[in-house]
A and B are shown apart, each in its own frame.
Chain A
Amino acid sequence: MAVYERIWRRYGGRLTPVGRRWTVVTRYALAEAFSSRFFTAFYVLCLLPTLIGVFLVYLSHNAGLVASIGLTEELMGGLTDLFFQVLFSWQALPAFFVAVIVGPSLIAADLANNALPLYLSRPVDRRDYVLGKLAVLAILLSPITWMGGLLVFTLQSSLEGGWWWRDNWRIGAAYLVGHATWIVVISLLSVAISAWVRFKPAARGTLFGIIFILAGFAQAVNAVTGTSLGDLVHLVRAIINVVLWIFGMPLRSDLPIAASWLTLAAACALSLWLLHRKLRAHEVVE
């Protein structure tokens, strides 16, 4: 039927599985994110740490190339744990900025335009909706973080040969678990803030505030009390501790590693509670 005929008819074709409807939310949100040239360019830049890591790994195993660009093998040295720790930080930081740019707009726009009744009047429930929105950040952040990290790790393993990967499995585990934990925490936080703060710049500021003001507050508490109790609200330190713990290095806190896990779990739980409170098809005044 020609679309301009202004005749209506029922749909008799096949339907997509109900369990996969959340992917529609993800797909449209991703398309929306990449509709901005600024974001697309920024996202490509975020892949640079991984590319630099790959290049350095390749360089450290190519004596001829090292010599041709005027470096000595001694200067390059072997790739130590520190290299991988630094690379981890340089991957986690852009991931945070991607979450800051994309996260606050994921739900805020729907709430501002009262679009939730339209989503939730379909065979899509709040869990599907949140899953779809969280998947956007997981998909965006994964190539920048753990996938890039594992790529560098795999390249290093293959170029080193032998049992290097077995002796250094903690590096791969740190990339996978550390980055995955960071993605979960930062995604939940940014989506929860997005649900409560409808003005995008304010939501971005709030996310910054939660990360950096809490860090400052934690250090102030530590300084005043002479303990590490402030680290219980220091999300960045908590994730660093988790990564250091997996690397097998000393923690940057006097608190046990369980405290860091507790901090991260509490942040996730609080975010989920905030989402549960806010994401409703309609406001209910009790």
Chain B
Amino acid sequence: MTATPATADHPVLELDGLTVRLGRRMILDDLRASFEGRAIGLLGPNGAGKTTLLRTLLGFYPAAAGGARVFGRDLGRDGKAIRAEVGYMPESDSHIADITAVHFVRLMGELSGLPSSAALERAHEALFYVGLGEARYRKVGTFSTGMKQMVKLAQALVHGPRLLMLDEPTNGLDPPARKRMLELVRDLRDRGTSRILLSSHLLGDVETVCDEVLILKAGRIADSCDLEAERRANRSFVEVDLEAPSADFESALVDLGCEVASLEPGRLKLVMPDSVAVRDLWIAADRAGVGIRRLDLKRDSLQDIFLRAMEGGRGGL
């Protein structure tokens, strides 16, 4: 059996009816989605199936039905080939306590296929990259929680994987360490050398890092969206309350290229084209001689999307 060749044309992740049962419990139920972004967020409350999905992609759990592909490689047939291209940072405390950090990261690099000397060199680089350069000769068992999170990140990226799977990477971190972790993940995303698959129940983490989101609820897909497109689409969605109804103002908005709907006298809802800024609305109102009582630049935040998904589905905007 030969492995499916992975090419740049394939989506990062394709879920094709993926179903996972553990014992009699259905953990993931018929997941279908496809993602091509630089950073994909797995979002959902505790127990939604985020970690199970990651573990299934790594081959820890078998699929009861359906399947998945990572960079076009089939999960059922090419498990080892997928794992060769993945760096995994588990959620729970995972390390080898009695060896130094550099020894630990080197071991993980060698297991991923790096020759011994290259693994040693990259272990040093990875530890410096995550900010553990000065502590690299300390035994991992003596590290604080924050340092253990960082060393887990170092071992995940030592072999330069195409896909980094990060399971709750900010767990147990204090605010500065959390900021540092998110900066590192963003940096990795922006370099473009690795795609990111980030699982978190923290909206802020996902919103900061990801451009695509899969929201899980009780093992099912509650929603999936291109966060970047959502941000772009909603940047221009505005509600305006005027001091008095003004036909001149409405026609000025139409002239600017806005789509305008009047909800009630003196209250407008409009979608601005990319070329129009909020400042232009103020100028138009001034020219029309009407005062603006309230201007609400409505952004559909990830929180809105998440809450709608948790309530049972997406409503129209």
Binding site for B on A (CB under 8 A): 1, 3-16, 18, 21, 24-25, 28, 32, 109-110, 112-115, 117-125, 280-282, 284-286
Contact = CB atoms under 8 A, between A and B. Distances in A.
Contacts of B115: 13-16
Interface stretch (B185-193, B250-258, B274-282, B309-317): B185-193
B111 A124 contact: yes
17 contacts: A3-B128, A6-B128, A8-B129, A8-B157, A11-B114, A13-B118, A16-B115, A21-B110, A28-B99, A113-B94, A114-B92, A117-B88, A118-B96, A118-B155, A121-B60, A123-B113, A284-B22
A114 B88 CA distance: 14
B28 interface: no
A104 to B, nearest CB: 14
B175 interface: no
Question: Chain B interface: which size bin?
Answer: 35 or more
B111 A115 contact: no
A121 B99 CA distance: 20
Contacts of B88: 117-118, 121
Interface of B: 22-24, 55, 58-61, 80-81, 83-84, 86, 88, 90, 92-99, 103, 107-108, 110-115, 118, 121-122, 124-126, 128-129, 131, 133, 141, 155, 157, 159-160, 165, 187-188, 191, 193-194
Given A5-B128, A18-B113, A109-B97, 11 more contacts: A3-B133, A8-B126, A14-B115, A21-B110, A21-B111, A21-B113, A115-B95, A115-B96, A120-B59, A280-B60, A282-B60
Contact of A24 (B111, B129, B165): B111
A11 B122 contact: yes
The 10 closest A-B pairs by CB, nearest first: A286-B23, A15-B113, A11-B160, A121-B88, A10-B160, A281-B60, A3-B124, A10-B193, A123-B80, A123-B84
Contacts, number: 132
A200 to B, nearest CB: 11
Given A117-B94, A118-B90, A281-B58, A18 B80 contact: yes
A44 B61 CA distance: 44
Residue among A113, A119, A122, A125 with the highest chain B CB neighbour number at 10 A: A122
Contacts of B99: 28, 32
A110 B165 CA distance: 21
B26 to A, nearest CB: 13
B21 to A, nearest CB: 10
Contact of B60 (A4, A6, A7, A120): A120
Nearest to B88: A121
A80 B108 CA distance: 52
Contact of B110 (A24, A109, A112): A24
Contact of B94 (A10, A24, A118): A118
Nearest to A14: B115
Contact of A286 (B22, B81, B103, B121): B22
Nearest to A23: B110
A9 B160 contact: yes
Contacts of A12: 160
A8 B191 contact: yes
A16 B114 CA distance: 6
Contact of B90 (A9, A10, A28, A117): A117
Contact of A9 (B95, B133, B141, B193): B193
A120 B54 CA distance: 13
B129 A6 contact: yes
Contacts of A13: 114-115, 118
